[in-house]
Every structure is written in C-alpha cells, then in structure tokens.
Amino acid sequence: MTKKHPHISTSAHQHKQISLIEVGPRDGLQNVKDILSFDQKRNLINYLLDHGFSDVEAGSFVRPDKVPSMADTVQIADAFSKQHDRLWYLVPNLKGLKTALEHNVTQIAFFTASSETFNQKNIGMSVEKSLSVIKDCVEHLKNEGYSFITQWGQKPSKKKEVKIRIYISTVIACPYDGNLAPELTLKVMQKLLPLNPAQFSLGDTIGVGKPADWKNLLGQIDKNLISQNKIAMHCHNTHGTALECIGEGLKWGIRSFDSSIGGLGGCPFAPGAKGNLATEDLLQFLEKEGFQTGIDYRKLKDCFAPERTGKLCNVSNVF
C-alpha cells in the first residue's frame, strides 16, 4: 500500500522553486561493488545534465585505495571541463583540493560530522581536526587569490572564483553513538560559518530521522539566525520516512535537497544504512505538492541502462 505523502501548508509554498543536488555519480557510486567504467560514468553524468540537473556531484578527490570507485575523478573533471559550473567534487584535504584546482574545479564540497565516533571511523580524525582541515583548505584558496560565491543561487563565472558547500553527517543520529543532540550540529555550523560556505548539507546518515527530529534541529538552527537559504537536507530512506522529513523541511523554508538517481548509494562507513532518497521519488513528491524543479521525473525512466549504470538497479518507488 502506498504511503500517503505529508501535506504541505499553503504558507510553505511562498517560494516554490526547489534546488536539487544530484549526488548519484559520487555518493551513489562510492561504495558499489560493481564499479562503473569511466565511459559509463561519463554517460550517466551527461544524461543528468541533459535532463535539466544544474547541480551534479560528479566525483571525489580521495585516495583510490580507500574508495576505488572514485579513482577516475581526475578524468571526469577533465572530460567535463566546460561544465564545471554545474558539477561538484568532494575533497578530503589540502592535497585533494590542490589536485581539484589543477583540473580547474570551481565547485568544491568538504565534509565533517556531528559525531566524534563517526568522524573517527569515517575519516580517521576528530571533529575539531576535520574543521581545521576545512579551514586550511579555505585559507589556501584565499592565499591563491580565489574569491568565493556565498549565495547558493549564483554560479562561478569568473577566473579564480569558487563556490563551496560543506557536508555535515550524522545530524540526527550516529550508527555508533545513537541519537545526537541538535546542539552538536549547531556547534559545528557556527564554527564553519565564518568561512562563508554557499551551503551546508545536513545529512541523516543512517536514515533514522523522523519529522519531529528535523523540526527540532531546524528550529535550533532558525533560533540561532542561520538562514534556511544556507541549508540543504540530505535524507536516507532507511525506514521510508525521508519524504515526510522533506515535508518538514519545506515547512521551515528549506528549498535545497540532496538526492540520488534511483536511490543509489550511501556512506560505506555507516554499517547497515540503506541508500539515499531516490531522486525520482523526491521529484514526484515535490511536483504533487506544487513545487518547481525544472526536471520531469517521467523522463528519467530510461536512466538505468547498461551504458550508464551497468548492472546497478533503480530502487525508486516511481519506476
């Protein structure tokens, strides 16, 4: 039986345009067993760009021995050199940042977590150390003469202009530490705000969040005068509650959401967690609620084809 979507009140529709960040080619593929070839990955990214996605996470400048599926990120960056204003790349440290800049990447994502244990398991360092790494990267950009776009709706268009977003994982709960207080996430955000990121992506990494949890978190953020324009929600659909949580976010004025084509992927260091919220499911939900994305989910039906996704399966509820 199909679960009824939460109804969004009229007041929540005042700003109807939604920004989707398609994370499938990076977050969706980072831990798959059947690693896609460079050609398949390039075909997938081209497909997404051709179907109207304006923000696609294309790769990660991480160690290939740690995440083999991202070993061709340099090739991807070079292949899409004319689309850098539509693609995002994850960088783990200063070395990764320098490589990204060598290949003319202009939209850069960093990551940390609210949970100390998760941060140690995921990237081998404390939360405070991870914040220091991000700050060092931003300082390097400044020293190299880069300017920063701080508004999400704007795109890099000039030489030495970059845009950054920062992932914060485990904002609701941690697979090791259990439920986390919203104050932990707020503390991380407040330490990073001086870096002027265009956006924070708040991740419910293990997908246990309920609307009440997001209400609590977003309420704390709002109370501390952090603009909802700086926030994206990154929900996992582990227990089938992701769309209800998105509905809560819409009520709070959140208009940016991460999703993954076909529900691909999730964090390889979060044991037991199922995949990301499927882009198709999110698009269908938003359309029913009267929001605009500029993307027709019906036209994504043939995305999962061998030349793009190999043997990977679409687990969305739409197709």
Tell me the catalytic residues: 267
CA angle, 21 as apex, 20 and 25 as ends, to 5°?
A: 135
What phi and psi values does residue 240 have, to the nearest 5 degrees? 70, 20
Q: Which amino acid is at 123?
A: I
Q: Are strands 173-174 and 161-169 parallel, antiparallel or unpaired?
A: unpaired
CA angle, 303 as apex, 200 and 261 as ends, to 5°?
A: 25
What pairs with residue 165 in β-bridges?
Answer: 109, 199
Show the tokens assigned to 37: 């070839």
Maximum separation of any 2 CA atoms in the chain, in Å: 57
Of the candidates 226, 219, 235, 217, which has an alpha carbon nearest to the alpha carbon of residue 191?
Answer: 226
Residue with tokens 């003469």: 145
Q: Please, where are the H alpha helices in the chain? A: 38-50, 73-79, 94-102, 116-123, 127-143, 182-192, 211-223, 242-251, 279-288, 306-309
| DSSP classification of residue 289 | T
Category of 108 on φ-ψ map: left (φ > 0), alpha (ψ -120 to 50) or beta: beta
Alpha carbon distance, N-terminus to C-terminus of the chain: 15
